[in-house]
Chains A and B, each alone.
Chain A
C-alpha cells in the first residue's frame, strides 16, 4: 500500500498542473446558456486531446496514452484543484465497449475520432418501457442480408442532439431469453429513418433526447461483438459509467467544494458553525468516494475488471454529489433561487440524476445484495 505518486505519476501531475494554469478557458463559469455550454464542452475536449490528456488509460494504437488507471485519478484530482470545466464524461465508458468488444478494424476506425472529440457519441440503451429493467428493451433489429433493419424508440439518450453516432442496443432475437437476444450496433445518427427529439430536463436544458428508428438500415459490419452479446457489452459499459473517476466526476466535486469554500468566505459565512460543519462533511464524503475509487482503480491495475463492487462507488458518488449540492443551496442561499447565481441552481439539478443514470441507487443496492449472496 503506497498512495505516493510513482516518479512517472509525479512528473505527469506537475506537467498537468502547469497545463491547467495556461489552458483553462477564461471566465468559463460565466457561460450559462445551452449553446455556449455545448461549445465549451467541445472546445475543452479538443484542447485536452490535443495535448495528450484524453484516453490516458487506452492503448496508444487507438489514440490513447497507454498509461495505468491511476493517471485518470490524477487527472481528476488536478482538474478539481485547478477548478477546470467538467472533463468529457462519456468518452471513457462508451469507448470501452468498442475497445473491449470491437474488431481490430472497428477499433481503428472509431476509437481515434471518439477520443479526439471529432466524432461525438451517445448511448442508445434506455427506452420508454426499459429503464431499470434494461433487458426488457423492445427496439428491434431484424437481419436482412448484409444489414439490420432497426425499428423502435430510445429514451434518455443523453447528448443525442449533438451526437454523430450512437452505441445502440437492439433486440436481434425475439425468441431468445430477454438477456440473450440483444445485440449492439454502431449507428450513425444521420442514417435515414432516425428522428431525434429533445427532452428538456428540470434544469431547463435539452440535455437528453428521445430517438425514433423507422426502418433504419445498419450494415452487419457495424455490430460489435457476437449476435446476442449486447447485454454483456451493456454491462461492461455501465460498469465504467458507474466509475466516478472514469466519468471525470471526482474533478467536478473537488471543484465545487473549493468554490463553495471561497463563496462561504466571501459571504462571511466562515464564522457560522453550521456552514463550517457542512463544508467539512462534504469534504469527508468526497474523500470517502475518491479513496474508495482509488482502491478500485488499483484493483483494475492488478488486472481485475470493474465488478459489482463498482456499485459501492456509484452509491458513494451519488451521496457525495447530492450532499455537496445541498451544501451549495445553503451557502448560496437566496442567490441560487433569485437568478443571482443561476449556475449553482443548474449544478444542483445536475446532481439529481446521478442517483438515476448508470443504474439507479436502488438497482445498485440490488446488485450488492446479489454480491452478498442474499437469497433471491
Chain B
C-alpha cells in the first residue's frame, strides 16, 4: 500500500497547480477580466482535456491524475470548464464514440457541457423539460443520457443563460424550447460503464470541493496573520485558531478519502469503485459549506461583501456539494450498498 502520490504524480501536481495559478481568479473582479479563451488554450496545450483518452482501450491517465487536476483548478476557482470536458470525454470514450469526436474535444475545438436534471443529481435526457446544461462556458453541445444511450444536443438554440445563479465561475443554461433533435452518440453504455463514469464524476466534483476549501482555508489563515483587533493579531485568539484547525481537518480528511476513491476508479470493481466515490462525495459535500462559511466568518464584515473572494468559494462549493447528489443522497445509496436496498 502506498497512500501517497508517487514522484510522477507529484510532478503532475506542481504542473497543474502552476497552470491553475496562471488561469484562475483571485478576486471577483477577475471574473469579468479573465481571458477565458487564453485559459482554455492553456488547459488544452498542457493536455488536461485528454487525460482520459484511450490508448488501446486504456486511459492515458488514471482517476488520480484527474483528481489532481480538478483539485488544483478548484483551488484557484478556475472558470474554464475542465470538469465538463473531462467527463464528457469519458462518456464519449466509454460509448466508443467515433475517434474524431474525441479528438475534437481533446483539441479544445468542440466544447461540451453536461445535461443534468433539475435536481442536479443525474444526467438528463434532452426531452426532459426542466433539464439544465451545466459548465457550459464556450460550449457547443451538451451530453445527456436517454436510458443508457449517450446523446448530444446543440446548445445553439433552445437554451438560455440562467440568471441569479449561485456559482459565478461556471456557465449554466436552462432548456427553454425543444428545437433541435438530439443525436445518438456511440453504443449504449453497460451498467458497469455507467457506474465507472459516475465514480469518476463524483471523484472529480469532490476534488473541486477539496481544492476550493483548501484554498479558502489558506486565505482565511493568512488573513488572521494580518488583521488586528484589540491590539492583537486575530490569529492569536484561540476561538479563531480552533475554527481554522477544524477547517484544516475537514479539508485534509476530504482529500484523504477522495484519494482512495480516485485510485479506485480504475482499480476497484465497478460497485466498489462507486461505493468509494459516494463515500468521498458524502464527506466532501458535508464539509463544503461548513468550511466556506467558517472562512466567511473569519474574514468578518469584509467576508460578507461582493468585492471579497470568500463568497465565490462558498458559491462554487454549494453547487459542487449538490452536483450528482448531496450528502443525504449519497448516504442513502451507501446504505443501499452496505445494508441492501430498502
Contacts and interface: CB of A to CB of B under 8 A. Distances in A.
A276 B341 CA distance: 10
Interface string A359-376: 000101110110111111
Interface of A is mostly: helix
A277 B335 contact: yes
Interface string A333-376: 00000000000000000000000000000101110110111111
Contacts of A279: 335, 338-339
B42 interface: no
Residue among A284, A292, A297, A299 with the highest chain B CB neighbour number at 10 A: A284
Contacts, number: 155
Contact of A280 (B3, B9, B334): B334
Nearest to B252: A312
B259 A291 contact: yes
A371 to B, nearest CB: 8
A261 interface: yes
Contacts of B286: 284
Given A3-B3, A280-B338, A284-B283, A374 B253 contact: no
Contacts of B191: none
B56 interface: no
Contacts of A376: 236
Interface stretch (A4-12, A135-143, A181-189, A206-214): A4-12
Contacts of A283: 279, 334, 338
A289 B260 CA distance: 12
B248 A1 contact: no
B25 interface: no
Contact of B267 (A3, A280, A284, A292): A3
A271 interface: yes
Interface residues of B, number: 48
Interface stretch (B80-88, B175-183, B202-210, B237-245): B237-245
A9 B338 CA distance: 25
A316 B253 CA distance: 8
B328 interface: yes
A41 interface: no
A288 interface: yes
B246 A365 contact: yes
A2 B263 contact: yes
Contacts of B15: none
B339 A309 contact: no
B235 interface: yes
Interface in B223-270: 224-225, 232-233, 235-236, 238, 240-242, 244-246, 248-249, 252-254, 256-257, 259-260, 262-264, 267
B235 A1 contact: no
A26 interface: no
A369 B1 contact: no
B279 A1 contact: no
A14 interface: no
Given A365-B246, A374-B241, A280 B4 contact: no
Contact of B283 (A73, A276, A288, A362): A288
A374 B221 contact: yes
Given A271-B342, A315-B249, A372-B244, A284 B334 contact: yes
Interface in B263-307: 263-264, 267, 279, 282-283, 286
B242 A288 contact: no
Contact of B241 (A261, A276, A302, A369): A369
Nearest to B225: A375
Interface in B1-57: 1-6, 9
A376 B4 CA distance: 32
A331 to B, nearest CB: 12
A295 B253 contact: no
A17 interface: no
Nearest to A276: B335
Contact of A369 (B232, B244, B259, B282): B244
A264 B242 CA distance: 36
Nearest to B264: A3
A302 B224 contact: no
Residue among B235, B257, B286, B328 with the highest chain A CB neighbour number at 10 A: B257
Contacts of B150: none
Interface in A134-174: none
A365 B238 CA distance: 9
A369 B242 contact: yes
A3 B2 CA distance: 6
Contacts of A281: 282, 331
Contacts of B233: 375
Contacts of A9: 1
B244 A70 contact: no
A315 B331 CA distance: 22
Which 8 A-B pairs give the minimum distances between C-beta atoms?
A: A369-B241, A368-B245, A365-B245, A276-B335, A292-B256, A375-B233, A374-B235, A294-B3
22 contacts: A1-B2, A1-B5, A1-B64, A1-B263, A261-B339, A273-B342, A276-B331, A280-B331, A283-B334, A288-B253, A288-B256, A291-B256, A292-B252, A294-B260, A309-B252, A315-B249, A316-B253, A366-B241, A368-B244, A369-B245, A374-B236, A375-B232
